[in-house]
Chain A
Amino acid sequence: NAGVTQTPKFQVLKTGQSMTLQCAQDMNHEYMSWYRQDPGMGLRLIHYSVGAGITDQGEVPNGYNVSRSTTEDFPLRLLSAAPSQTSVYFCASTSSGGGRDNSPLHFGNGTRLTVT
């Protein structure tokens, strides 16, 4: 049972480069989300999706794009990397995630991104 799988585990980018962080889940979860974790800031929601074809912005969406063409996959795109995007990125999923959902959130192991 793989759960939530994120690739790559580590990535170094130069300022201005673009890249895609991959996230896949095999639990048939409708809700998927991306968080970033920074020292002193905790985890903050970047984007989320409540189902295939539906995405929305979280707390810190600037500089990131997402799409959800399938239930399983939720890639996060950095359009033009900046040093401020150096962080650890986590993908997480749950059954529905909506206001009345009480299912726990399942996290991937993260992608550690450094932008120089």
Chain B
Amino acid sequence: KQEVTQIPAALSVPEGENLVLNCSFTDSAIYNLQWFRQDPGKGLTSLLLIQSSQREQTSGRLNASLDKSSGRSTLYIAASQPGDSATYLCAVKGSSNTGKLIFGQGTTLQVKP
């Protein structure tokens, strides 16, 4: 059974720091991995999607990497800003037709001015 773990559960950093969020999964037979952002009381917003054949994806100050063989992904946030404060979730998708995503518990990030 696929399990997704995110460490740490919470992180507090001063503005301007570069930081890394970690995601690990137990079954390497994934089709893709997605990183989402969730603001309090809101839905999830897709940040980056990495296909199983890809190693990384970049969008602005965000860079996500995928190492399928070791079951790990990282989300790198450069020059963090207070507006980056949110919960970040990773989710993996298998190859079944359910389209089901298995989510981690998330990392809650606070960027202090």
| Residues of A that sit less than 8 Å from B by CB | 4, 6, 31, 33, 40, 42-43, 45, 48, 50, 56, 58-59, 90, 92, 94, 96-110
Contact = CB atoms under 8 A, between A and B. Distances in A.
A102 B99 contact: no
3 pairs of A and B residues whose beta carbons are closest in the complex: A97-B99, A104-B46, A107-B43
Contacts of B95: 99-100
B51 interface: yes
Contact of A40 (B34, B41, B46, B105): B105
Contacts, number: 69
> Chain B interface: which size bin?
20 to 34
B12 interface: no
Given A40-B105, A102-B32, A105-B34, A56 B44 contact: no
B49 A50 contact: no
A99 B43 contact: no
A99 B36 CA distance: 20
B46 A106 contact: yes
A96 B31 CA distance: 14
A105 B101 contact: yes
B69 interface: no
23 contacts: A42-B89, A42-B106, A45-B98, A48-B99, A58-B98, A58-B100, A90-B43, A96-B99, A99-B31, A99-B96, A99-B97, A100-B31, A102-B51, A103-B49, A104-B46, A104-B49, A105-B34, A105-B46, A107-B43, A107-B45, A109-B43, A110-B41, A110-B43
Nearest to B6: A42
B61 interface: no
Contacts of B104: 42
A107 B70 CA distance: 29
A100 to B, nearest CB: 7
Given A59-B100, A99-B96, A105-B91, 15 more contacts: A40-B105, A42-B103, A42-B105, A50-B99, A90-B44, A92-B44, A96-B99, A102-B51, A104-B34, A104-B49, A105-B44, A105-B46, A107-B36, A108-B43, A109-B43
